[in-house]
């Protein structure tokens, strides 16, 4: 019986790439390399963290996926390669796609060549707002007492 370990390394690589791409395409959450590693490992227990990191970096270099640096220094990955707006929640760190930004795409500005555009709104997401509203109401009640 042959196991995965006996596969030629090229073929093994292709399978790993496929799994990683598949996960990214199905994920709308812009995962970190660690998130990808933890997920892909469920199906490929032999995959190493280094392999996942190398593969996502390679995919990003080839333009198959996008990588972005968030304000808190995290690198997040996205299989959605068309220019699009993002929304990042400062409370829970979730990143959402909120539509294409084709109208803003220019080839050149002031002689600088534009290769990509990355626009990210920062704020508080729906879920965190729901939780936040309750907290705010309590704070306001306290304020009222102080100011009276």
Binding residues for Zn ion (CB under 5 A)? 78, 80, 89, 91-92, 97, 125, 128
Partnered with residue 109 across adjacent β-strands are: 112
Nearest distance in Å: CB 139, Zn ion: 19
CA–CA dist 5, 21 (Å, integer): 21
Nearest distance in Å: CB 95, Zn ion: 7
85 and 101 Cβ atoms separated by less than 8 Å: yes
Nearest distance in Å: CB 49, Zn ion: 23
Nearest distance in Å: CB 33, Zn ion: 16
- Angle at the Cα of 31 from the Cα atoms of 10 and 36, rounded to 5 degrees: 35
Nearest distance in Å: CB 134, Zn ion: 14
59 and 65 Cβ atoms separated by less than 8 Å: yes
Q: Which is nearer to Zn ion, 29 or 44 (CB)?
A: 29
Q: Which is nearer to Zn ion, 11 or 120 (CB)?
A: 120
Q: Which is nearer to Zn ion, 51 or 78 (CB)?
A: 78
Q: Which is nearer to Zn ion, 2 or 72 (CB)?
A: 72
Give which of 41, 36, 42 is closest to 60, Cα–Cα. Answer: 36
92 and 122 Cβ atoms separated by less than 8 Å: no
Q: Which is nearer to Zn ion, 44 or 124 (CB)?
A: 124
Assign 92 to helix, strand or coil: coil
CA–CA dist 70, 29 (Å, integer): 13
């Amino acid at each position: 019986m042959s196991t995965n370990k006996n596969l030629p390394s090229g073929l093994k690589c292709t399978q790993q790439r496929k799994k990683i791409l598949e996960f990214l395409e199905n994920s709308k959450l812009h995962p970190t390399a660690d998130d990808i590693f933890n997920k892909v490992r469920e199906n490929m227990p032999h995959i190493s963290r280094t392999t996942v990191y190398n593969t996502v970096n390679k995919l990003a270099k080839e333009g198959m996926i996008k990588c972005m640096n968030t304000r808190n220094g995290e690198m997040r990955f996205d299989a959605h390669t068309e220019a699009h707006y993002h929304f990042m929640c400062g409370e829970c760190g979730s990143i959402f796609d909120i539509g294409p930004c084709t109208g803003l795409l220019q080839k050149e500005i002031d002689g600088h060549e534009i290769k990509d555009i990355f626009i990210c709104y920062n704020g508080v997401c729906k879920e965190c707002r729901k939780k936040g509203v309750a907290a705010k109401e309590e704070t306001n009640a306290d304020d009222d007492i102080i100011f009276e």
